[in-house]
Structure 1
Amino acid sequence: MTSRSLNIFKDNSLILKWTMVLVAGFCFLWSFQLFIAGNAYYSVKNDIEGWQLSPDKASINRIDRGLGKIGNAIDYFPDNALYYQIQGQLFEWKAVVEKRSEESGDAELGLKSHSDNLNNAAESYEKSLLLRPTWSGSWIGLASVKLLRDELDDEFYRYLKNAKQAGPQDAIVHKFIVEFGLEMFSARSIHYVKIKEQLKQHLNLGLQNPLSRDFVLKAIQKHNASETVCRWLRDASYPVRKRISNCITYD
């Protein structure tokens, strides 16, 4: 091998070596970002699931921390539909908690903040659906924003329809329809007529799904609807009926 060939060989080896170093560094950085983003998502997800069962545990400070975490995850992975959907839920919770706690002494400012947070929530859900149109959680999110705005119009029911088509077995669909349906039943609202068949279906499915079961049982208890739900689900399976308080007797 000539001196010139040897130098070319050494140069190529050096280039290959540094290429491998750069690739390894990139892979390490990507893995680190994935780890941070994943931890942020599951931390926020666990908080939200806890607030759903015990809403009083939600606070502005905890929600703002969650928004910071999921904001960092989105900075790392801006094309992740799930992160935008979780961000939307956080903005919803912030709107609810601010309205509940009336932290602002200025009523007009408080209403503006409530509206801004709902607008932010809707924007996050829309970004999620642009990335993944068949994501049931984001369709439910848009329906939830409409509900918080007292806008139970055709668009609200279209969002529900899209959510059911995208994820007919998803826990988030069961939870929303059960809570909304029982609320409309308790209020003797005209909207109960529109939702009653879906309510019965998702009470059954929600009690079957371990990811929604505790939430559905708590919703039934909150609305003192055990006897009514037992009657609605008289044709449901024994494992479903036995979970409803006093629905199965052995007299």
Structure 2
Amino acid sequence: MVAFVNKNIITAPILQWSVGLCALVTLYLAFCFGSASIYAVATEKNIERWVKHPQDVTPNVINETKQTILEAIDYHSSHPHYYNLLGKTLEWEAYLSTTEDQIGILQQAKKAYLKSASLRQNWPDTWADLLSVETQLQGENINLYFDNANQYGPFIPTVNSKIAQVGLENWQQFTPQRRSIIIEHIARALTHPKSQGEMYRYLQSSGLLKFACAAIIYNPRGYDGKVNLCKKVLK
């Protein structure tokens, strides 16, 4: 007589083990992603403070922040934004470094931005950051990064400001067609509530306010006349 074995007796422990394993994996991933997010938020807050109070930035603070974002990447190595934050941190490190070290650190920043772009190709802020680094490195991909930033983020305030500033600081490097695009980004940056204050302060401190406003008002492509500030500046 052949003994009948109830399959449920065999499969029940296997099912319980599988469910338990899935639960453990889920908890582990939640822990990793949660930890990464905490480190990334801390990095973002530091960078925001640096922008507002650049005089308070020190090499030690930058190094601590760099280690923080590297921890985030260790926990979640496929998150594109974390590499973008690493690139920004490295840019600040380059800013405070000696001339001899700047190029190497900027190349590291570029590498971080490229990693971010490879994971999220249509994110315009990363292309704008790459444009900024590439102009400092005098690299071969300035036009590529310019075009990508403009294509993916023509109406994003942070992108408008970055293209405007990089464009003005490297005006002679760009073709007349791209200069016209730069002027459009200046105009958008001066009219959007999230960017107009920063853009105005930059133009005023750099002595480029009248030049930028004249370009906006008299550019042959024409504008919609919403940049009222420029009308006052040029009176």
Bin the TM-score by the shorter chain.
0.7 to 0.9
Indicate yes or no: 2:113 matched with 1:125.
Answer: yes
Alpha carbons of 1:229 and 1:58: their partners in 2 closer, same or farther (altered >3 Å)? same
Deviates more, 1:74-83 or 1:8-17: 8-17
* Alignment-derived partner of residue 144 in structure 1: 132
1:57 maps to which residue? 56
| Deviations 1:192-215 (CA, angstroms, capped at 9, x unpaired) | 775542332112222344443332
Query: Who is 1:169 aligned against?
Result: 155
- Aligned pairs for 1:26-65 (under 5 A) are 26-65=25-64
TM-score by length of 2: 0.79
Shift of 1:232: 4.2
Aligned to 2:228: 241
CA distance 1:209–1:12, change in 2 (3 Å): farther
Relative to structure 1, is the Cα distance of residues 154 and 24 closer, same or farther in structure 2, using a 3 angstrom cutoff?
closer
How far did 1:114 drift?
2.0
| 53 and 218 in structure 1: CA distance in 2 versus 1, 3 angstrom threshold | farther
Deviation (angstroms), 1:157: 2.3
Contact 1:137 1:163 in 2 (8 A): yes
| Deviation string, structure 1 residues 155-198 (Cα, Å, up to 9, x no partner) | 312221121112222333212222223435xxxx6347755423
Please name the residue that 2:201 is paired with: 218
Task: Give the Cα–Cα distance (whole angstroms) in 1 for the partners of residues 5 and 13 of structure 2.
Answer: 15
- Counterpart in 1 of 2:82? 83
1:37·1:76 contact (CA, 8 Å) conserved in 2? yes
Q: Secondary structure of the equivalent of 2:144?
A: helix
Gapped runs of 5+ residues in structure 2? Answer: 218-222
Q: For 2:233 and 2:47, locate their aligned partners in 1 and report how far apart those are by CA, in whole Å.
A: 30
Identity between Structure 1 and Structure 2 (%): 24
Per the alignment, do residues 34 and 15 of structure 1 end up closer, same or farther by CA in structure 2, a change over 3 Å counting? same
1:12–1:245 distance in 2 versus 1, CA, 3 Å: farther
SS in 2 for 1:14: helix
CA offset at residue 96 of structure 1? Answer: 0.9
Task: State the superposition RMSD in angstroms.
Answer: 3.1
Amino acid at match of 2:152: A
CA, structure 1 residues 146+191, in 2 after alignment: closer, same or farther (shift >3 Å)?
Answer: same
SS in 2 for 1:126: helix
Structure 1 gap segments, 5+ residues each: 100-109
Aligned length: 227
Residue in structure 2 matched with residue 190 of structure 1 by the alignment: 172
* SS at 1:190 equivalent: helix
| CA deviation map 1:22-48 (0-9, x unaligned) | 222221221222222222222222322
Q: CA deviation at 1:224?
A: 3.7
Using structure 1 for the length normalisation, give the TM-score: 0.75
Alpha-carbon distance in structure 1 between the residues aligned to 2:192 and 2:40: 22
